[in-house]
A and B are shown apart, each in its own frame.
Chain A
Amino acid sequence: MTEHGGIPEFQIDALQEVSNIGLGNAVTALAELLNKKVDISVPKAYFIELERVFSLVGGLEEAVACVNLILEGDISGTVMFIFTDKSAFKLVDMLTGQETGTTVELDAMGASAVQEIGNILTGSFINAIGGMTGLVMQTTVPMYAFDMMGAILSASIVASGHYDDKVLVIETLFFQENDHIKGHFFLLPETGALNKLFEAIGIPAEC
């Protein structure tokens, strides 16, 4: 059996499946908000070196908008949404009903619009998982940054208490085809938190 840092393959599969359901719900919420069809790629769970998390997104110096929320309750961890600068501008245009290309920087309004999107996506994600598993989860107030991808991602990984050389990451790409919007979703669960999830979905924590 392939191991992912002590997490057996079938549990990785289960994580991906649970995330798929949660994120399916999240993009439905986003699609309603934007009144456009939004797609997601199949979520992938990785147990990888910290440095490789960055290469999942792109260049370290690339300007991105990031919303960071902390999950509390039965499953604790960190949720991050990362949009490239151009995608973030387009999202704000779509949300505020402006023509694409109107927004060229994120002022306080734009920033709070992006933050709200992160909030809604996370909310529907955890509601779906909560509904399925009966687990209780809450999120904290979203935190926001617009800067170099490397700077943001490293700061949030360190601040969320993931000090190990390898981290468990659940990643999805979501996109709006016509408007070329691309975003990354990351879930960094705390290690102990996963056993509760596996128990709740009827998978033995160890086998």
Chain B
Amino acid sequence: MQLSPGKAMEDRAAACNEIHVGIAELKIARQPDRLITLGLGSCVGVALHDPATMIGGLLHIMLPESSQFNNVNKPAKFADLGIPLLVSEIRRSGGKINNLRAKIAGGAQMFSGLNEKFVLNIGERNICVTRKTLKSLGIRIVAEEVGGRRGRTMILDTVTGQVHIRTVGVRLKVI
């Protein structure tokens, strides 16, 4: 049997579960599992990782702020509610808030030929409120892959804290 250079990585990928985080959802995982969220457009993915306990959390938000809505039954839809919820879920699972490092991705402008009636810059506003909320919680953003025009898939490795970014027609990127 021939061993390819990527064999060790493949073995590890096979040994861990890949847990899917849907739109307006958040999930927590422990090593060796990975968290994945597919197709972030103007949405923003927030990955939090505690390297000491190897606990990670991933959140997929759609909108910046919940304050303009009366009826909020999915807090993970909003940056301002989803991020604190993600932090408290990580703490409940044994992670320490002081250890947490954040990596964020998404917030793209997907459409060209925009007209003024379209709600502009929703991606930008998502990024902005995400940064602000993380800052208010004292969590440092160590890497980000935001803005631009491309949709992204985001994978958090709870062992290393690395985040893999997948885009259409571009090689996998690690942040």
Contact = CB atoms under 8 A, between A and B. Distances in A.
Interface of A: 50-51, 54, 60-61, 63, 68, 70, 72, 115, 140-156, 158-161, 163, 165
Contact of B168 (A51, A142, A147): A147
A158 B122 contact: yes
Nearest to A53: B23
Contacts of A61: 38-39, 153, 166, 168
Which label, helix, strand, loop or mixed, suits the secondary structure of the A interface? Answer: mixed
B29 to A, nearest CB: 19
B41 A152 contact: yes
Interface of B: 22-24, 38-43, 62-63, 69, 73-74, 108, 110-115, 117-119, 122-123, 150-153, 166-169
Contacts of A148: 38-39, 41, 151-153, 167-168
Contact of A50 (B23, B122, B152, B167): B23
A167 B48 CA distance: 31
A155 B122 contact: yes
Nearest to B123: A155
B131 to A, nearest CB: 19
Contacts of A70: 115, 117-118
B108 A161 contact: no
Given A154-B43, A159-B122, A140 B117 contact: yes
Contacts, number: 112
Contacts of B24: 50-51, 165
Which label, helix, strand, loop or mixed, suits the secondary structure of the B interface? Answer: loop
12 contacts: A51-B22, A51-B23, A54-B23, A61-B153, A143-B115, A146-B168, A148-B153, A151-B152, A154-B41, A155-B123, A158-B122, A163-B69
Contacts of A150: 23, 38-41, 151
Contacts of A141: 113, 115
A142 B62 CA distance: 23
A154 B115 contact: no
Contacts of B108: 151, 155
A153 B169 CA distance: 19
Contact of A144 (B43, B112, B117, B119): B112
8 cross-chain pairs, A with B, having the tightest CB-CB distances, nearest first: A150-B39, A151-B151, A151-B41, A155-B41, A148-B151, A60-B38, A143-B111, A60-B39
B174 to A, nearest CB: 18
Contacts of B167: 148
Given A151-B41, A155-B122, A144 B113 contact: yes
B63 A147 contact: no
Contacts of B153: 60-61, 148
A160 B41 CA distance: 14
A49 B174 CA distance: 33
A165 B76 CA distance: 12
A84 B8 CA distance: 35
Contact of B151 (A68, A142, A152, A165): A152
B38 A158 contact: no
Nearest to A155: B41
